């Protein structure tokens, strides 16, 4: 595998379910991100991890819970979601600032989430 991979690619869940999204990067990066992409809205940054520590949480509801066990893996745990949470969830990775990077991010293909 190369680049950034995400599983599953599609997920349908009820409002009472618990599920997790998985992201893995094979680029040797040390920063990872979760974004939410909804129709007709800008990309919304949800969480940022740098060197496995959370550095930003953009006021995301607690029904979304991230986990970053190491620099290559990122999870998004979901529980008691609402229909408005239906969207494409994108994972990305980059080098962090200390590496002198220009911070370009590399994206996975996304998970299309539908909440029924």
Partner 1 sequence: AQSVTQLDSQVPVFEEAPVELRCNYSSSVSVYLFWYVQYPNQGLQLLLKYTTGATLVKGINGFEAEFNKSQTSFHLRKPSVHISDTAEYFCAVSSGGYQKVTFGIGTKLQVIP
Residues contributing to the site for partner 1 (CB under 8 A): 4, 6, 31, 40-43, 45, 48, 50, 56, 90, 92, 94, 96-97, 101-110, 112
Closer residue to partner 1, CB minimum distance, 80 or 107: 107
Closest CB 107 distance from partner 1, rounded Å: 4
In angstroms, rounded to a whole number, what is the distance separating the alpha carbons of residues 96 and 43?
Answer: 20
CA quadruple 114, 76, 94, 40: dihedral sign: positive
Owner of token pair 């379910």: 17
In angstroms, rounded to a whole number, what is the distance separating the alpha carbons of residues 27 and 85?
Answer: 29
Closest CB 59 distance from partner 1, rounded Å: 14
Closest CB 44 distance from partner 1, rounded Å: 9
Q: How many CB atoms lie within 10 A of CB 35?
A: 21
């Amino acid at each position: 595998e190369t680049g950034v991979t995400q599983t599953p690619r599609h997920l349908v869940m009820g409002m009472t379910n618990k599920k997790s999204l998985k992201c893995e990067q094979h680029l040797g990066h040390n920063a990872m991100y979760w974004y939410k992409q909804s129709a007709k809205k800008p990309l919304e940054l949800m969480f940022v991890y740098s060197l496995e520590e959370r550095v930003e949480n953009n006021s995301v509801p607690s029904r979304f819970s991230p986990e970053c066990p190491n620099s290559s893996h990122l999870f998004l745990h979901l529980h008691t979601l609402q229909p408005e949470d239906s969207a494409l969830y994108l994972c990305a990775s980059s080098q962090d600032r200390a590496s002198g990077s220009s911070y370009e991010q590399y994206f996975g293909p996304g998970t299309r989430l539908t909440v029924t």
